[in-house]
Copies of this chain bind each other. A is one copy, B any other.
Amino acid sequence: MIRRLLCSLASVAIVAPLLALSPAPPPGPILGYTQEHAAAERAAESTFDANMNAAEMKSWLRRLSARPHHLGSPYDKANAAWLVAQFQSWGWDAKLETFQVLFSTPKERKLELLSPTRFVASLQEKPLKEDRTSNQIGEQLPTYNAYSIGGDVTAPLVYVNYGIPADYEILAQHGIDVKGKIVIARYGGSWRGIKPKVAAEHGALGCIIYSDPRDDGYWGGNAYPNGTYRNATSAQRGSVADIPTYSGDPSTGGEAPIPGAKRLAIKDIPTLTKIPVLPISYTDALPFLRSLGGPVAPAAWRGALPITYHLGAGPARVHLKLDVAFGYVTAYDIIAKLAGAERPDEWIVRGNHHDGWVNGAADPLSGAVAVMEEAKAIAALTKTGWKPKRTLVYCLWDGEEPGLLGSSSWAEAHEAELRAHAAVYVNSDGNGRGFLFAQGSHSLERTVDEVAREVVDPERGVSIERRQLAAQKLRLDGFASLQADDEGGVDVAAPIEPGSAFHLEALGSGSDYTPFVQHVGVAAINLGFGGESGNGSYHSIFDSFDEYTRFKDPTFAYGLTLAKTAGRIVLRFADADVLPYAFAPSADTIARYAREVAKLVDDEGSATLKRNALIDDGSFTFAADPRETFVAPTKRSPVPTIDFSALNDAVAALQTSAQAYDAALGIALSTSTAPSTASATDRALLAAEHTLTTPTGLPRRPWYRHQLYAPGFYTGYGVKTMPYIREAIEQRNWDEARTGIVTVAAALLAYRTQIDIARVTLAGK
């Protein structure tokens, strides 16, 4: 499901010290290790690397992607059985865990333009002779959006750009209302499920989502099969369940779908869409867009089709019919364990999903075969006498695509165990050539940084922190466009802080880490390579072995690099004397979030004053072209004073404790032996991330309990940090912002206390 490969480089906010990029860094200390153990760890890692080979990964990818393998399909089940057998053959304690989960598939899809001309959308991706699995039509899911409700609607059409809330403000200024209309939105700008959600909030009757060639088609590069960009008939499948409310089985309302679980009736499921939704190709979209009249769309709304983009409404009149079958299918999770030799009750969890929308070679199998390769190499490592100190839990999830069903179900079912045992969850998803992208709990930042400095980019021979160089280079005049990413733009205004350390980005949603970090409260990271391989086959019949091996990672060099990177993180967590968290960088980042939310209030305050003044003096109207409809915006209430002192005090206390812990850990491991109380330290550390969650979670979405990271309610995949506070401010809900401030402050104080406890335990010798 994840779309990281297309994500912008804009979020790179740092320049790694250049020394970090030299190909053979001097072995230094490893966080959580005594010096002696660090050397042993590096030796084990070398063996681990040597145990892996790319050819095997390629053969596995061929096998797993040979047929469509979506949730509920025969080949999905066959893959699961084959995968568990593989893990068992390597010596892992592997088994299938199954869940009965609600899935939706279309029975009938119809989309037609009734006027001013007549056109019936084909709704069919056209197989290519250059892609050997693209003609498996009988097993392919049609192009559709899972968890859309059915419907049969006829109405004038309105173009709503990406269909996010700000787009509707622009429409309102043009005097355009979508009430009683069908909207057509383009993919991009937000997670797809936001589009029908916001459209329905504004009274639309139906929603069409199309792939504009500006966003992932020919505008960016050669279309498949000549390149990796989406071609004329390719459409993007995907879930539109309201995952920002809860992920997992929609029918259980956020509970584990275990036998006996209460199931909601279809009509009562809050995360299904309120209106029918259908994804189409740009070939199908063009006649609809061409038939729109009304105002010309704003510059930022225009795609790459050879037309003048208009907003409507009408004269295009559209008929959309969708008949949907809802039913229960089995999700097959593969859970493989390797017991820890010393601290078996501490779990290092690693996962990637195995289900695809169709053949799913890149998404998710390219990441899944890295998980397999790691597991096999670790098993081989045990033959040398090495044993993990802690227990490894390797997982391959089913049903990620429709809404993280396999991982959420398992995390919900095992919540108590996870809170008791899980030290970290390491996720991956689709992978490709290019740069390392990493997001995660900020306490894991130092370990990820240490690992990334030691893993070598297979094509450039420097550290995989190579991406920081790109970020720096992109900011020099004249070079901004050279490395423009796949989405076609690089935000050169993103802040850069020379000399600062590697930063983990915050986690939003879009892959299987969500139930772990945001629901259960397990520190998590998500890793993958991309940015040089394109991703225009995303969720289409062309995400195939042929496409992957031709364009995405032909030698599997980056597959191997992902296995080295994620595997190292797993091994370092598994073998450390003390679990390798560092809190000072995390506290500093949290302090930045606190500054950001306070600034958000200040900015909204001054923007409101300015805007209201301009409304009062008629500026908006005077500036508008009198020959075009223009509805001046209305005044907003002034922003009240918001007291952030509780938050700021908690942050300051946290920073003090975090520095104290990090210093104490350094001292504790500076001798040849680790503290005798290290196990107690682990117990304290493992609980630290839990303290950042609250039992009642976020307003209106209690399933999301983490007070630092959540997918935005109106962005979907995009993260909102300190979401309780930030989203309240964005929605101008000042009372909720105040409640959010004390809630987050309390969580940070609990986090601080847990860090203090961990520090105290380090005293034993």
Residue A624 is within 8 A (CB to CB) of chain B in the complex: yes
**Given A299-B489, A481-B299; A306-B213 close (CB under 8 Å):** yes
Establish whether residues B477 and A607, one from each chain, have CB atoms under 8 Å apart when the complex forms. Answer: yes
Residue A21 is within 8 A (CB to CB) of chain B in the complex: yes
Separation of A617 and B462 alpha carbons in the complex (Å): 11
Residue A131 is within 8 A (CB to CB) of chain B in the complex: no
Q: Interface-forming stretch among A218-226, A244-252, A260-268? A: A218-226
Residue A108 is within 8 A (CB to CB) of chain B in the complex: no
Flag A599-635 by CB within 8 Å of B: 1 or 0 each. Answer: 0000000010011001001111111111100100100
Separation of A480 and B623 alpha carbons in the complex (Å): 12
Separation of A433 and B628 alpha carbons in the complex (Å): 13
Q: Interface-forming stretch among A57-65, A165-173, A697-705? A: A165-173
Residue A305 is within 8 A (CB to CB) of chain B in the complex: yes
**Given A610-B476, A625-B532; A304-B306 close (CB under 8 Å):** yes
Establish whether residues A222 and B306, one from each chain, have CB atoms under 8 Å apart when the complex forms. Answer: no
Separation of A108 and B211 alpha carbons in the complex (Å): 45
Chain B residue nearest to A481 (CB atoms) is B298
Closest chain B CB from A605 CB (angstroms): 14
Establish whether residues A482 and B624, one from each chain, have CB atoms under 8 Å apart when the complex forms. Answer: yes
**Given A222-B296, A296-B222, A304-B306; A619-B170 close (CB under 8 Å):** no
Chain B residue nearest to A487 (CB atoms) is B299
Which residues of B are found within 8 Å of A480, using beta-carbon distances? 300
Q: Interface-forming stretch among A233-241, A269-277, A404-412, A465-473? A: A465-473
Residue A483 is within 8 A (CB to CB) of chain B in the complex: yes
Establish whether residues B619 and A296, one from each chain, have CB atoms under 8 Å apart when the complex forms. Answer: no
Which listed residue (B221, B299, B477) contacts A484, Cβ 8 A?
B299
Residue A712 is within 8 A (CB to CB) of chain B in the complex: no
Chain B residue nearest to A488 (CB atoms) is B299
Which listed residue (B304, B611, B617) contacts A304, Cβ 8 A?
B304
Establish whether residues A622 and B466, one from each chain, have CB atoms under 8 Å apart when the complex forms. Answer: yes
Which residues of B are found within 8 Å of A630, using beta-carbon distances? 482
Which listed residue (B223, B478, B620) contacts A170, Cβ 8 A?
B478
Chain B residue nearest to A161 (CB atoms) is B481
Which residues of B are found within 8 Å of A532, using beta-carbon distances? 625, 627
Separation of A308 and B220 alpha carbons in the complex (Å): 7
Establish whether residues A619 and B229, one from each chain, have CB atoms under 8 Å apart when the complex forms. Answer: no
Chain B residue nearest to A15 (CB atoms) is B619
Separation of A611 and B475 alpha carbons in the complex (Å): 10
Establish whether residues B624 and A483, one from each chain, have CB atoms under 8 Å apart when the complex forms. Answer: yes
Establish whether residues A227 and B308, one from each chain, have CB atoms under 8 Å apart when the complex forms. Answer: yes
Closest chain B CB from A700 CB (angstroms): 25
Interface size grouping (class) on chain A: 35 or more
Separation of A473 and B630 alpha carbons in the complex (Å): 13
Separation of A470 and B614 alpha carbons in the complex (Å): 10
Establish whether residues B473 and A619, one from each chain, have CB atoms under 8 Å apart when the complex forms. Answer: yes
Which residues of B are found within 8 Å of A173, using beta-carbon distances? 479, 482
Establish whether residues A472 and B619, one from each chain, have CB atoms under 8 Å apart when the complex forms. Answer: yes
Q: Is the interface of A mostly helix, strand, loop or mixed?
A: loop
Establish whether residues A169 and B478, one from each chain, have CB atoms under 8 Å apart when the complex forms. Answer: yes
Which residues of B are found within 8 Å of A622, using beta-carbon distances? 21, 457, 460, 462, 466, 469
Which residues of B are found within 8 Å of A607, using beta-carbon distances? 476-477
Establish whether residues B308 and A614, one from each chain, have CB atoms under 8 Å apart when the complex forms. Answer: no
Separation of A473 and B626 alpha carbons in the complex (Å): 15
Which residues of B are found within 8 Å of A481, using beta-carbon distances? 170, 298-301
Which residues of B are found within 8 Å of A469, using beta-carbon distances? 614, 619, 622-623
Residue A319 is within 8 A (CB to CB) of chain B in the complex: no
Which residues of B are found within 8 Å of A434, using beta-carbon distances? 625
Chain B residue nearest to A630 (CB atoms) is B482
**Given A472-B619, A478-B170; A219-B614 close (CB under 8 Å):** no
**Given A473-B623, A622-B469; A218-B307 close (CB under 8 Å):** yes
Residue A18 is within 8 A (CB to CB) of chain B in the complex: yes
Which residues of B are found within 8 Å of A624, using beta-carbon distances? 482-483
**Given A478-B170, A532-B627; A298-B611 close (CB under 8 Å):** no
Which residues of B are found within 8 Å of A478, using beta-carbon distances? 166, 169-170
Which residues of B are found within 8 Å of A466, using beta-carbon distances? 622-623
Which residues of B are found within 8 Å of A227, using beta-carbon distances? 308
Which residues of B are found within 8 Å of A483, using beta-carbon distances? 623-625
Separation of A473 and B632 alpha carbons in the complex (Å): 11
Closest chain B CB from A342 CB (angstroms): 40
Residue A302 is within 8 A (CB to CB) of chain B in the complex: yes
Which listed residue (B220, B299, B614, B621) contacts A472, Cβ 8 A?
B614
Establish whether residues B304 and A476, one from each chain, have CB atoms under 8 Å apart when the complex forms. Answer: no
Establish whether residues A306 and B305, one from each chain, have CB atoms under 8 Å apart when the complex forms. Answer: yes
Chain B residue nearest to A480 (CB atoms) is B300
Which residues of B are found within 8 Å of A457, using beta-carbon distances? 622
Chain B residue nearest to A474 (CB atoms) is B623
Separation of A330 and B284 alpha carbons in the complex (Å): 57
Separation of A610 and B626 alpha carbons in the complex (Å): 49
Which listed residue (B223, B482, B621) contacts A308, Cβ 8 A?
B223
Closest chain B CB from A398 CB (angstroms): 34
Separation of A488 and B611 alpha carbons in the complex (Å): 24
Flag A107-132 by CB within 8 Å of B: 1 or 0 each. Answer: 00000000000000000000000000
Separation of A166 and B477 alpha carbons in the complex (Å): 10
Separation of A302 and B476 alpha carbons in the complex (Å): 20
Chain B residue nearest to A297 (CB atoms) is B481
Closest chain B CB from A6 CB (angstroms): 14
Flag A441-476 by CB within 8 Å of B: 1 or 0 each. Answer: 000000000000000010110100010011011101
Which residues of B are found within 8 Å of A301, using beta-carbon distances? 481
Separation of A484 and B625 alpha carbons in the complex (Å): 11
Which residues of B are found within 8 Å of A614, using beta-carbon distances? 469, 472-473, 476
Closest chain B CB from A714 CB (angstroms): 14
Top 10 A-B pairs, shortest CB-CB distance:
A298-B481, A470-B623, A299-B484, A459-B626, A469-B623, A306-B306, A469-B619, A299-B488, A473-B623, A532-B625
> Can you add 8 more A-B contacts, CB < 8 Å, to A219-B302, A220-B308, A469-B622?
A18-B617, A299-B481, A302-B304, A305-B306, A472-B614, A473-B614, A483-B624, A483-B625
**8 A-B interface contacts by CB (under 8 A):** A173-B479, A219-B308, A222-B296, A302-B488, A304-B306, A466-B623, A474-B623, A476-B614
